[in-house]
Amino acid sequence: MTFVRGLHNLQPGKQKSVVTIGSFDGVHIGHQAILQQVKDAAERLQLPSVVMTFEPQPREYFSSEKAPARLMRLREKIDALLDFGIDHVVCLKFNRQLRTLSALDFIDQVLVQGLAVDYLIVGDDFRFGCDRSGDFALLTERGTEAGFEVMDTATVEVDGQRVSSTLVRETVERGDFPRAAELLGRPFSISGIVGYGQQLGRELGFPTANVQLNRFSAPLAGVFAVKVNIAGSIYQGAANVGVRPTVGDLIKPILEVHLLDFDGDLYGQRIAVEFIHKIRDEQKFTGIEELITTIQGDVEIIRQWFTNNN
């Protein structure tokens, strides 16, 4: 299983492959059905399975900070795809060069020469190439000429709704984590490396492990009861996701986690934060004293919630 970054690292003339293309944000159960299609076809044809994705995601390239919040960062996505059993994940940088590539050049240079596609699985609404001029019909036509087959993706519905990244995002945003777990096939979580902050939580009496999200927006905001996985050990905690409006020192949101009954140094460690229950929205307070009082109340509410739900 490998991760290949950049079109220049694709090796022309290599073994044929079974390919799918998409953003795969969240790697939810709809995506997993597509990945299973890819794996099944790869096994049947005795070829490697390949997922091609983009960084930044196309909507982020065109819309910048107005793009929808990501459900997962790139590393989380790659790990999820490889953990599912995909042989190769190829990530292309979405830039002006790729954006201006014609649909036919995309097929010939990326799919045929780069990925040596033998079997391509994409949705019948898939668009690609400069100004989104390429579509499923063009892929099918060119596939007949170039010697690869094109197949439509599977669709997964839950309670009559098509599972999509948008649906998962809306579910996470409103704090319905049991429903989000159903759509994702696993609990919603955010992982990352604990970094150094301004020690604000420690000064307030609630030391936090801070994870930079490195995005303009997050799929959720507020105060939450969480479970935190640290090297296989699980801890209960209180988490805040937001821009700390009372302090006013942030532009991009940050994940801050206060672990209950924990005393240790987490700097530089990778943690996975599973969101369990939403306590409240992020608020701006009149001053630090009101903020401290509210945090104290939040922590007690979260302690009690875990006691009542264990």
Residue 307: predicted pLDDT:
95
| Partner residues linked to 224 by β-bridges | 239, 278
Statement to judge: residues 54 and 152 lie in one domain: yes
Residue 247: predicted pLDDT:
61
Boundary-marking domain end, from 120, 142, 158: 158
| Cβ burial 88-99 (10 Å sphere, 16+ → b, else e) | bbbbbebeeebe
Say how far apart CA 212 and CA 250 lie, in whole Å. Answer: 11
Please tell me the total count of domains within the chain: 2
User: Which residue has better confidence, 295 or 179?
Assistant: 179
What's the average model confidence in pLDDT over 3-20?
79
Residue 232: predicted pLDDT:
93
Put simply, whether the predicted model's pTM sits higher than 0.95 gets the answer no
Residue 189: predicted pLDDT:
96
> How many Cβ atoms are within 10 Å of 55's Cβ, its own excluded?
18
Boundary-marking domain end, from 143, 158, 173: 158
What's the average model confidence in pLDDT over 147-154?
93
pLDDT grade for 203, boundaries at 50, 70 and 90 = low
Residue 268: predicted pLDDT:
92
Considering only CA atoms, give the Rg of the chain: 22
pLDDT grade for 202, boundaries at 50, 70 and 90 = low
User: Which amino acid is located at 9 in the chain?
Assistant: N
Statement to judge: residues 298 and 152 lie in one domain: no
> How many Cβ atoms are within 10 Å of 203's Cβ, its own excluded?
11
3-state secondary structure of 218: coil
What is the pLDDT of the chain when averaged over all its residues?
89
Residue 144: predicted pLDDT:
94
Say how far apart CA 299 and CA 296 lie, in whole Å. Answer: 5
Statement to judge: residues 140 and 197 lie in one domain: no
User: Which residue has better confidence, 162 or 97?
Assistant: 162
Per-residue pLDDT tens digits for 241-262:
988 766 655 668 889 999 998 8
Boundary-marking domain end, from 158, 175, 205: 158
Structural domain span for residue 193: 188-308
Least confident of 90-99, 112-121, 171-180, 191-200: 191-200
- CATH number reported for the structural domain that contains residue 77 in this entry: 3.40.50.620
- CATH number reported for the structural domain that contains residue 280 in this entry: 2.40.30.30
- Is residue 279 domain-resident? yes
User: Which residue has better confidence, 137 or 61?
Assistant: 137
pLDDT > 70 fraction of the chain, expressed in percent and rounded: 92
- Is residue 209 domain-resident? yes
Residue 11: predicted pLDDT:
66
- Is residue 16 domain-resident? yes
Using the predicted structure, report yes or no on whether residue 204 has a pLDDT greater than 70. no
CB 90 within 8 A of CB 51: yes
Nearest CA to 272 out of 178, 196, 188 is that of 188
- Is residue 183 domain-resident? no
Q: In what order do the strands lie in the sheet with 17-21?
A: 2-5, 88-93, 49-55, 17-21, 117-121, 149-151
Say how far apart CA 113 and CA 136 lie, in whole Å. Answer: 19
What's the average model confidence in pLDDT over 140-145?
94
Contact residues for 97 (Cβ-Cβ < 8 A; gap 6+): none
Could you tell me where the DSSP H helices lie in 106-232? 136-146, 165-173, 177-184, 200-203
